[in-house]
Amino acid sequence: MAIIDVDRLSKSFDKLKAVDGVSFKVNEGEVFGLLGPNGAGKTTTIKMLTTLLPQTSGNAKVAGYDIRKQQNEIRKNIGIIFQDPSLDEDLTGRENLEFHAILYNIGRERRDAKIAEVLKLVELEDKADTLVRFYSGGMKRRLEIGRGLIHEPKVLFLDEPTVGLDPQTRRHIWDYIRRLNETSGTTLILTTHYIEEADYLCGRVAFVDHGKIVALDTPSALKNKLGGDVVSIQINAEDRKKFSQLFKGLKWVKRLSAHEDFIDINVEEGERRIPEVMVLASKHGLKILSVSLHKPSLEDVFIHYTGKTIREEEGNSFVQHMRAMRNRRNR
C-alpha cells in the first residue's frame, strides 16, 4: 500500500524549474531514496511533500492526506530530519526531546515514557542530561532522528542525513537507520548524493537529475539492467572520440559512455576482454593511461542515464545556480 503518492509534481522559481513533473509512490514501511547531485531537485521535492513549500503544479498525498488541502493532517503524521542542524545546543538532549514533544501536545505521563523510549532507541541514555553543544556530530544526528520520532510519525523524511559526517560516523548512522526501519516499521524517505548510502539503505532508489526522475527501481535491478562488467579506461583527451567510434562498432561492447577522463564500456567476461581492448587500442595508435574492471555500480547507472557522474552534475548545478542568482541581481 502506498503511503506516499506523487503525481506530476512540479516547482518553479521564476524561470528555473527545480522539480519537473515527478511521479512516484512509496510503500508503507519502505526505505525509499531520492539520489542525485546537489541542486537536482531532491530537497525541493521533500519540502513540497512536508508542506514547507507550495507546489507550482501536480499534487501528492502523504499518509493519505492531500499536500494542497490537508497540510495540518500531514504535519501530524510526519517527522523531518533537516539537512542543516536544528537542535538547541543550549539545552540537554532530554530537553530538546521534551520541547519537541510539547509542541505535539504529548501529555506529561506519555511524554516522559516516550522520551525514555527514544533515548534508548538512539543509544543516548547516558548523555540525556548533557548539553547538546558537547555532543559529537554523530550523537547530534542520532538525537535529531530520535526527535523526529517522538510523536510516532507514519513517515520520517531525512534530507541528506549524513552530510558533513566522517566516513566512520556516517556508516554508524546508516546501520542505525536500517535498524530503525526494521524495528519500528516507520516509512523512511531520504535524499542523498552519496551513491553508497543509497545502495546500502534503500529498498528502491529514484535517480533525480535536473528536476526529473530519470530512473527508478531497486539498486540491484538498476545495476542488473547494465549487466556484465564495466571496463573503465583512462585515455588522452585527443584520442577519446576516435576510441569511442572504434569500440562502439564492436558486437561484444554492450554500452559505451564517456565521463571526465574515462570511457566505460559494458561487456561480458571483462577479464577476457581487457587484453583485446589493449591490443586493439595499440593497433590504432591509441594510448591507454589506465584500465580497471568492476561490476556495475549505481554510479555506472547514473552515468548511463545522464552521461555524467554525480560529481560532474554537482559542478554543473552549482554553475547554473550562480548564473540564476546573478540574473536575479541584474534585474
pLDDT in tens, 99-122: 999 999 999 889 999 999 889 888
pLDDT in tens, 59-76: 999 999 999 999 999 999
CB 205 within 8 A of CB 198: yes
Q: Helices marked H in 159-269 — which ranges?
A: 167-184, 195-201, 219-226, 240-248
pLDDT the model gives residue 319:
40
Q: What angle do CA 245, 249, 250 make, to 5 degrees?
A: 125
pLDDT the model gives residue 314:
61
Name the residue among 52, 56, 48, 35 with its Cα closest to residue 6. 48
Whether pLDDT at 315 is above 60 = no
pLDDT the model gives residue 321:
41
Lateral strand order in the sheet of 65-66? 16-27, 2-13, 57-62, 65-66
Region 171-178: mean pLDDT is 88
The residues spanned by each domain of the chain are 2-218, 228-295
Q: What is the total residue count of the chain?
A: 331
What are the residues whose beta carbons fall under 8 Å from the beta carbon of 310, sequence distance 6 or more? 35, 36, 37, 193, 195, 299, 302
Question: CA–CA separation, 267 vs 10, rounded Å?
Answer: 38
pLDDT the model gives residue 322:
37
The label of the residue with cell 559542478 reads 315
pLDDT the model gives residue 60:
97
pLDDT in tens, 287-309: 899 999 998 999 989 988 887 88
Instruction: Provide the 10 A C-beta neighbour count for residue 250.
Output: 15
User: What CATH code would you report for 2-218?
Assistant: 3.40.50.300
pLDDT the model gives residue 184:
80
Query: What mean pLDDT value characterizes the chain?
Result: 89
Region 280-284: mean pLDDT is 91
Q: How far is CA 44 from CA 94, 150, 282, 299, in A?
A: 31, 25, 49, 22
Name the residue among 192, 211, 216 with its Cα closest to residue 56. 211
CB 18 within 8 A of CB 12: yes
CATH number of this structure's domain 228-295, picked from the four choices 1.25.40.10, 3.40.50.720, 3.30.70.920, 1.20.200.10? 3.30.70.920
| Residue percentage of the chain with pLDDT more than 70 | 94
Whether pLDDT at 164 is above 80 = yes
Question: CA–CA separation, 145 vs 198, rounded Å?
Answer: 18
pLDDT in tens, 40-55: 999 999 999 999 999 9
pLDDT in tens, 123-158: 899 999 999 999 999 899 999 988 988 888 999 999
DSSP state of 268: S
What are the residues whose beta carbons fall under 8 Å from the beta carbon of 30, sequence distance 6 or more? 187, 188, 203, 204
Region 90-106: mean pLDDT is 94
Q: What angle do CA 121, 126, 128 make, to 5 degrees?
A: 75
Q: Counting Cβ atoms within 10 Å, is residue 148 exposed (0-12), middle (13-18) or buried (19+)? A: buried
> Which of 131-145, 217-231, 246-260 is predicted with the least confidence, judged by mean pLDDT?
246-260
pLDDT the model gives residue 325:
39
Q: What angle in degrees, to the nearest 10, is found between the helix axes of 137-149 and 108-121?
A: 140
Distance spanning both ends of the chain, measured CA to CA = 48
CB 45 within 8 A of CB 19: yes
pLDDT the model gives residue 320:
45
> Which of 4-8, 90-94, 101-105, 327-331 is predicted with the least confidence, judged by mean pLDDT?
327-331
3-class DSSP state of 101:
helix
DSSP state of 254: -
> Which of 122-136, 169-183, 184-198 is predicted with the least confidence, judged by mean pLDDT?
169-183
Here the cell at position 235 is 585515455
pLDDT the model gives residue 172:
85
Q: Which residue has the higher pLDDT, 161 or 312?
A: 161
pLDDT the model gives residue 109:
87
Name the residue among 84, 62, 88, 60 with its Cα closest to residue 75. 62
The label of the residue with cell 509534481 reads 9
DSSP state of 25: E
pLDDT the model gives residue 152:
87
pLDDT the model gives residue 323:
43
Q: Dmax of the chain from CA atoms?
A: 79
Phi, psi values for residue 307, rounded to 5°: 80, 5
